[in-house]
Structure 1
Amino acid sequence: MNTPLFQFTAVAFAIASLCTFNRAEAQTESTNKNKTQEEQARKEGEEISEAEKKINADSPRRAALQKKSAVQKLNAEQNAQSVQKVTVNGNKQSDTDLRRNSIAGKIVVGREELDRDGDFTVGEILKRLPGVTTGGRPGRGGDVRMRGMGGGYTQILLNGERPPRGFSMESLSPDQVERIEVMRGPVAEFSTQAIAGTINIILREEYHPKDIDLKLALGVEQGKIAPNLSITYPGQIGDLNYALSGSIFRNKQYDEGSSERIEQTNLGLVQLIQDQLDRTNRQSTGLHLTPRLSYRFENGDNLTIQPFLMTSRSHSYTQSNITQTPEIPDPVTHLLPVAFANSNSNADSTFVRLNTSFQHRFEDTSKLTLKIGGGSGRSNSDSLRSQFARSGEQLNLISDVNETRDRSFSQGGKYMTPIGDKQNLAAGWDFEQSQRQQRRISLDNGKPQFTDSGDNLEASTRRFASFVQDEIDINERWSGYLGLRWEGIRIHSSKSDYVVDNSSSVFSPIAHAVFRIPEFGKDQIRMSLTSSYRAPSLNDVIAVPAISPINGPTRPDRSGNPDLRPELSRGFDIAYEHYLKSAGIMSANVFIKSIDDLIRRRTSYVAAGDGMRWVNSPTNIGHALAKGIELEAKFQLQEFFPAGPAIDVRSNYSRFWSSVNDVQGPNNRLDQQPSQTANLGMDYRVAQLPLSLGGNINWTPAYVNQTSDTQTSSSGVKRQLDAYVLWKISPSMKLRLSANNLQANDYLSGSTLAINGVNYLQNNRAKTFTIFNLRVELKI
């Protein structure tokens, strides 16, 4: 056993034992004193259990009415019999109840599931959900994709709002999250920039004043130690409730990857073979703070303030060895082939945001919510790459410095009023304005790598939206939702020699319906008819390039296109949900989406700086169609086999099809969309022991995408096996050992380009590693 791991475990056990002992002494007297009262409350609770079971039977409003009626009836009976008065407090809905009661279908991931596998990042949790995949190699994060659709098709929200630029799932600890809502269809209240769906991350909310959560974690990867500490300190001062949450971490990582580049004519003549091996050591540190304050006024109004701070710093060093056959000078630069290269990179970023929400309830139970927020961010990065010939002669000194400043302001509101007992009407608006200042200097031996190197770029994005939505319980079986949202976006950017304006607006009508099947318990059918869109991102519109150190047709620079139009989509979903007695579910969902003005990236050979370079830029190309089926089953094994072991089963499987009309087949699918993905997980509770263990296997098969008539991209099979063991030492202490990516298979990817009678082929192989994590969870 590693010495740091053993020391960490010993210290954690000592702290936990002391806390548990002190708490036990303080609680012994009160426990004996309240034993009789608890027994009496238990008996009284049995009398009202049937009433509380009806709380979440239907929609949230109907559940509240049923509970009120049941409680009033029970109190009347008890008063008539001169029985001691019983006060019933509403129980918080479970994740399954929230899912079942929502008219617009969504999956809710609560605290129990967030903690279960001991993950370091939110992205690791999301990859296990139905229809969700992540790009890149295991353990290193990547963009999150619903229904296999990334690149802006999946909308990420933070507390219902767009996160600051630079935000990443991999930078957010699960300890800072209260729950995650995965919505397959858009709703008018949120932006409809969600062709694939929306993932809404809700940060930590109110705590019970007595719970102080302390989590100490130690990760180990390739012998490198990664400590992590998170704490949540709740409290109450009069009518002010607060929860101070934060985490601090340090990571050390080693990466190794190789690539092979081949240039071959249509006649089979090999012109070039180039092999490259990269070894990278990386270190990063970070701090996250997410406090929350909530004040309730005497009239019932509520004011909530939630600051958000995320800061990180990283350094990496990369050594590259390159072998090329034949070793001839570059025909454009006349330089010898690069044989060795050393790179040093540094990056630091800080994002700060403050969100404020005020809620006022009127006497007629109407509700007005006003929200305002502002944020600021900065990110700086610099890299220096030295490239050498095989003789040791220095060929290039490439430097890249990037300074970015972001500011944002948002304001919105929603007014909701009930119409009778079964209908809620709401209307509102959202406004957001963000500004960016960026300065990038890219030099190759002191000469600019692109024309505008060193110029200041100023860009601004302004969004305004208004919406109206109506939720109604038509009868005991039918519930419906109608929504309409208008959203306009204007992007303005300027540099010394040009000005770009890109404006668009979209109307999005939305309809959802739920049918509860008679005589089938809690079974129900969902249907959705939606409109959504994907607006070009700021980086897709502005033309500042991202420079590739070794430029080529398979390693091009990336640039923008100021003339991009938004993609427009219309979709239909239908789902069948069968809810089990033990909070389980079996569901099947079918969807189809039509997309117009699809955005794709194309590679071309253009003039840049003092020569010609390969540049990859986006353009609108035409129409696409996507469809698929998503299956899910979550259940306790004992519900079907009462004598069986206490095993919880989690499984899902998704199959996707797509086609792009303006791209020749085969494999003319949406960019980076796999054909299928699946998960299988199990959790086992050991009988008569405070011990549980489980695991999950995630699988995405290899796939090839035809991105244009001359380009393809490919990705190898991904299998990721995770496992954990949880020991509940006491009610206030848990010890969790987890392992992610136990198989640690190499990650494969590739691309091809055929142009001017030459075929360019690149194959990439990256190593992956197993990550062990030991975590102690304390409640003080």
Structure 2
Amino acid sequence: MILPGFHATAEEAGPDAAGVFALDTILVNGTSAAHCLPRGAARAEADTRPECLGRGVGRADLPGATLDASQFDRLPTGARANALIKRLPTITTGGGPGEDKDARIMGLDKEYTRTLVDGYQLPDGGEKREFNLDRFPVAMIDQVEVVRTKTADMETDGIAGKVILHSKDIPETLTRTLSVRGGQTSDGIGNFGISGHIGGMFTADFGAQAVINIARDGASKTKVKTSPSGAVERTLEEKPQPAREFLGDVMWRSEIGTFRFKPVYLDQTEEKTKDLQKLTADGAFNGSETGAEDKTKQTRGATLSWGEQIGGFDIEARAGYMRGDEDKTAATTTTTAAGAGTGKLETEDKADVNRTLEVDAKTPIHLGAVAGELKFGLALRDKSRDKTKVSNGAVATGKESYALDESYRAAYVMGKFDLGGTVTLKPGLRFEAVTLEGTSIGSGLRAEGKARDLLPSLAASWQINDRWTLSGGLGRSVNRPKFDLLAPFETTSGSTLTVGNPDLDPQPANTYDLDLTFKGDHAELVFGLWHRNIKGVIEEGTATGEIRDGKTVVSAQNVGDGTTSGVSLTQRISLAHLESPVLRGFTLGANENWASSKLHVAVTGATRKFKEQPNFWGDVFVEWTDPSERLILMAAYNYTGKLPAVGDSGTDWRESEDTLDLKVSYDFDNGTELYLLGENVLEGARVTHAANGDVTRETGPSLVTLGVTRRF
């Protein structure tokens, strides 16, 4: 994927350091470029940048991709993080048309990708440990990274990789920004947003900032399911999403070290209405279902970081408290073909609390003539989740109502060695231990589980010459189970007793990644490879061999095995060196991704692809800038090929999809930018074919937005 205007700077480089690479108006997929002052670096007299503290571990030179904040307003994307992440190589997004909420690295299901904000896992309501990216506004983001290879100082959970959102950094000087947008979907639903930012480094030792965002997003969705007999179910959903968000950031330097405090508040409500009409093959009324659902998601908390140089060690400690609440109320009325009606009222409440403490220390070391750095640390996290579902006054049983307490402990050691000034090696070893206590709220059943993992890793990069770089990594990673599979529930259906399994093991995987990057004066090319060998894939409905009260006991078990491999190609070309004033304004680019996988399903004995993974997907991007560099025209086209296996059973399949986004922006001399954005211009459809012959077609509207940003 081409991303205009991006620049990459070595992790330790300052604003004027040598080694900064510029490709006219574009450079993407370079190394992570933190714009803060690296820990331990000497501060020049005119350098007022904030210290790099409280950001968590970044990508650096690992295989993956990075998108910098300086590019956000040069992309035809919306106001939420999901609109940014889908522009990066190897990424697909989940959800129906206009609902691409979650990121999927390597095209794998969302359960294999983890999303972090400044190194922390923000609580969210999903069972698959995912974080919905539409909950985080672009106004709060400084940088987006996709990391495929992990080093020992990163938590290993997430076999495919990690999406890292770095929150907006404190500006060097006092900065104020106000953005206002308004628009309407093609089906008439209004969207708007207003965000404001103020902050800066007031001295070299003190800085602060605040970001406030108030918005109303959302649209409608039409779903039509047709059975082989010709019967039709037609559903119309409208889902406005008002939101309020706040990010604070205070940094101060004292005699006992540097401190950084970041409070955050995210509040999003989904106000969904649903109208389902059923028709027979000859068009006669065959029943209906109408309903209204209000879902409110709140995340609130804060992180406090401290860093100091003590006796030759650079120490950083980070503590965080985050609470997430998801409350849902759904009222549904069902009417039969004969006109009889029944009602159902459901409420679902989820509460998640994450308490985190991490301590890292690093110190220079020398092994003979080899200079390096030794880094080691500890990580502690306690997570609790309580979920209660009530249907018509009765508490739901099974995995719908449970309480979990998950205790995570980790320790690691990692080296970083520079060989000859061109090769960097990062060997490491990480130990992770998880203890789980689970309770079924409906029945009161209690159970415990434990997991212990020793996880080696090795990352390396080779600066072959000024234009070619080779980076890669291999190691051991895990994927922790879905929350609802860990609840100690029991449900009976016929001759089968289904039970939860709090003692499920994480799915382990051997991971291999490689990126070869060429950076020329007017072009950049990236060739990427990945492979995952996964053991102990979790499968639900697996017979345990136990008979209880005459019933066959089944549960989720670590019984499957699979592999997935892929290739990613990225190309970017700038025509700024041409003589023609029209052609030299163009920047062109694309990324193409191919994936293959095999999953042996122990329950059925079948072999299929991992669900939700396409064989091919990619992006094409075109940008044109007029000679004055004020007017910019942008277009981005995304294509996702056929998905041969979707749904939990993996027996359904989905047709290929495409989307087109367009943007026009004009930058005035007075710090004002005006833009017109069109999203989902093609109003593409998602068509799913079920194993029973049903065909479901989902369509979403386009959205046109007019916005203005004022910097002063």
Where 1:339 maps in the other structure, the secondary structure is strand
Bigger strand share: 2
When the two structures are superposed, what TM-score results if normalisation uses the length of structure 1?
Answer: 0.77
Q: Distance in 1 between matches of 2:66 and 2:218?
A: 32
> Residue 673 and residue 405 in structure 1: after superposition, are their counterparts in 2 closer, same or farther (change >3 A)?
same
- AA aligned to 2:388 is R
CA contact (8 A) 2:49 2:201 kept: no
CA contact (8 A) 1:274 1:323 kept: yes
Asked if residue 343 in structure 1 is aligned to residue 291 in structure 2, the reply is yes
CA contact (8 A) 1:436 1:460 kept: yes
> Residue 187 and residue 419 in structure 1: after superposition, are their counterparts in 2 closer, same or farther (change >3 A)?
same
**608, 616, 630: which one pairs with 2:568?**
630
- AA aligned to 1:438 is K
Compute the displacement of 1:666 (Å).
Answer: 8.9
Equivalent runs, 1:268-283 vs 2, <5 Å: 274-283=231-240
Bigger helix share: 1
- Partner of 2:245 in structure 1? 288
- Partner of 2:302 in structure 1? 354
CA contact (8 A) 2:586 2:622 kept: yes
Q: Distance in 1 between matches of 2:529 and 2:196?
A: 41
CA contact (8 A) 1:650 1:682 kept: yes
**334, 342, 349: which one pairs with 1:387?**
334
- Partner of 2:376 in structure 1? 427
CA contact (8 A) 1:103 1:481 kept: no
Where 2:220 maps in the other structure, the secondary structure is strand
CA contact (8 A) 2:485 2:501 kept: yes
- Partner of 2:455 in structure 1? 508
CA contact (8 A) 2:389 2:395 kept: no
Compute the displacement of 1:563 (Å).
Answer: 4.8
Asked if residue 139 in structure 1 is aligned to residue 78 in structure 2, the reply is no
- AA aligned to 1:776 is V
CA contact (8 A) 2:665 2:674 kept: yes
> Residue 50 and residue 283 in structure 1: after superposition, are their counterparts in 2 closer, same or farther (change >3 A)?
closer
When the two structures are superposed, what TM-score results if normalisation uses the length of structure 2?
Answer: 0.84
CA contact (8 A) 1:749 1:764 kept: yes
The one of the two structures with greater contact order (alpha-carbon pairs below 8 A, sep at least 6) is 2
- Partner of 1:672 in structure 2? 612
Query: Aligned Cα RMSD in Å?
Result: 3.7
- AA aligned to 1:254 is S
Compute the displacement of 1:55 (Å).
Answer: 6.4
- AA aligned to 1:399 is L
Question: Which has the greater radius of gyration?
Answer: 1
Asked if residue 649 in structure 1 is aligned to residue 615 in structure 2, the reply is no
- Partner of 1:32 in structure 2? none
State the Cα deviation string for residues 139-160 of structure 1 (Å, max 9, x = none).
Answer: 1123210111123211111101
- Partner of 2:689 in structure 1? 750
> Residue 319 and residue 570 in structure 1: after superposition, are their counterparts in 2 closer, same or farther (change >3 A)?
same
- What 5-or-longer segments of structure 2 have no aligned partner? 1-13, 23-29, 52-56, 126-130, 544-550
Q: Distance in 1 between matches of 2:155 and 2:331?
A: 40
**176, 191, 206: which one pairs with 2:170?**
206
- Partner of 2:87 in structure 1? 128
**669, 681, 686: which one pairs with 2:626?**
686
- Partner of 1:303 in structure 2? 259
Q: Distance in 1 between matches of 2:211 and 2:532?
A: 40
Where 1:476 maps in the other structure, the secondary structure is coil
Where 2:122 maps in the other structure, the secondary structure is coil
> Residue 52 and residue 492 in structure 1: after superposition, are their counterparts in 2 closer, same or farther (change >3 A)?
closer
Q: Distance in 1 between matches of 2:605 and 2:704?
A: 43
Compute the displacement of 1:279 (Å).
Answer: 1.3
Asked if residue 312 in structure 1 is aligned to residue 268 in structure 2, the reply is yes
State the Cα deviation string for residues 577-626 of structure 1 (Å, max 9, x = none).
Answer: 111235x521101122100011245599xxxxxxx9xx998543321011
Q: Distance in 2 between matches of 1:249 and 1:653?
A: 34
- Partner of 1:489 in structure 2? 434
> Residue 124 and residue 617 in structure 1: after superposition, are their counterparts in 2 closer, same or farther (change >3 A)?
farther
**135, 139, 163: which one pairs with 1:175?**
139
Matched residues, percent identical?
Answer: 16
- Partner of 2:68 in structure 1? 110
State the Cα deviation string for residues 629-653 of structure 1 (Å, max 9, x = none).
Answer: 1111123123578874221223111
Compute the displacement of 1:761 (Å).
Answer: 3.4
CA contact (8 A) 1:118 1:736 kept: no
Equivalent runs, 1:254-653 vs 2, <5 Å: 254-262=220-228, 274-298=231-255, 301-324=257-280, 339-362=287-310, 364=312, 366-394=313-341, 396-419=342-365, 422-443=371-392, 451=397, 457-495=402-440, 496-517=443-464, 520-542=465-487, 561-581=501-521, 584-601=523-540, 618-639=556-577, 644-653=583-592
Equivalent runs, 1:720-735 vs 2, <5 Å: 720-735=659-674
**696, 700, 705: which one pairs with 1:768?**
700
Where 1:102 maps in the other structure, the secondary structure is coil
Q: Distance in 2 between matches of 1:241 and 1:373?
A: 20
CA contact (8 A) 1:146 1:197 kept: yes
State the Cα deviation string for residues 204-237 of structure 1 (Å, max 9, x = none).
Answer: 1111333101111113112221110111111455
Q: Distance in 2 between matches of 1:506 and 1:668?
A: 28
Q: Distance in 2 between matches of 1:214 and 1:60?
A: 27
Q: Distance in 1 between matches of 2:656 and 2:408?
A: 39
**161, 165, 170: which one pairs with 1:197?**
161
- What 5-or-longer segments of structure 1 have no aligned partner? 1-48, 72-85, 94-98, 263-271, 329-336, 552-557, 605-611, 753-759
Where 2:576 maps in the other structure, the secondary structure is helix
- Partner of 2:151 in structure 1? 187
Q: Distance in 1 between matches of 2:587 and 2:108?
A: 30
Asked if residue 246 in structure 1 is aligned to residue 202 in structure 2, the reply is no
CA contact (8 A) 2:69 2:142 kept: yes
Q: Distance in 2 between matches of 1:50 and 1:368?
A: 24
Q: Distance in 1 between matches of 2:637 and 2:554?
A: 35
State the Cα deviation string for residues 457-506 of structure 1 (Å, max 9, x = none).
Answer: 32211111111111111112211111111112222211333113222121
- AA aligned to 2:199 is P
Q: Distance in 2 between matches of 1:235 and 1:88?
A: 15
Where 1:282 maps in the other structure, the secondary structure is strand
> Residue 627 and residue 470 in structure 1: after superposition, are their counterparts in 2 closer, same or farther (change >3 A)?
same
Q: Distance in 1 between matches of 2:71 and 2:628?
A: 23
Q: Distance in 2 between matches of 1:688 and 1:665?
A: 63
Compute the displacement of 1:410 (Å).
Answer: 0.8
- AA aligned to 1:108 is T
Asked if residue 233 in structure 1 is aligned to residue 195 in structure 2, the reply is no
> Residue 513 and residue 383 in structure 1: after superposition, are their counterparts in 2 closer, same or farther (change >3 A)?
same
Q: Distance in 2 between matches of 1:703 and 1:362?
A: 54
Where 1:195 maps in the other structure, the secondary structure is coil
